Structure 1
Amino acid sequence: MKERSILAYFNTPEQAEQALEKLKELRLIDSAIDRFDGYPGGGVEGIMNPITGDFRSLGDLTLGGDFENRDAAVLAAASVSASGMSSGGYGNRVSGRDILLTAIVAEEDYDKAKAIVDEAGAL
């Protein structure tokens, strides 16, 4: 059986989960929902005191980035989210499409699957 893959970007995990539930009615071979970010690392794990805490850079402190390259850490610190000069979106969250639904469907169901994710608000 031939397969086709779909990469659909959403604003919220709920949108992606809703689309995935409808995709399960087709011949869905595999799927995953992931959140991604523009910076390496797991994000801010917990609150710490910046005076007594051990952090390597502003990007590490505010973005939770795990930067191996010092230049990348300096560049990330210039981000409006790291500097505090702007919050970007509500709650200082990414205001774009940072949820990725990856689905592999049978080739015969590709057009139906594409219509489902489009209807759910995917990019």
Structure 2
Amino acid sequence: MNQASWSKTEGEKAEGNKQATAALRTLEAALRDISKGKPFFGGDSAGYVDIVLGGLLAGVRAMEAMLGVKAFDPVTMPLLAAWADHFGALDAVVAVMPDVSKLVELFITMHAHIAAEAATAN
């Protein structure tokens, strides 16, 4: 999603979306195979893989808000969507999860800064 969001051309955006979708399909398949129907990659409780991927969850949610898309769409990625809901609801996660609206503000500021630097470099 990152390449898709920062890209300049429609071709770059399309390629970024294609790569992100392929990666998410791989994660969806891995969750299906590893969890054996349980809510987490680790089974009934969050394990290492859940924690590592969960560290990206707030950023993904911010990108979803900025781009108006759902990375963990319940229709196309039902297992990942359920996983994100389960993981995000854990007490330990709720206590430390960054505020998505603040991340959106940060990403917008970063994007403006990068665009300004690129404009002065040309």
Q: Which has the higher strand share?
A: 1
Q: Same fold (TM over 0.5)?
A: no
TM-score by length of 1: 0.25
Over alpha carbons, which structure has the higher Rg?
Answer: 1
Structure number with the bigger relative contact order (C-alpha 8 A, sep ≥ 6) is 1
After TM superposition, the score normalised by the length of structure 2 is: 0.25
Structure with the bigger percentage of helix: 2
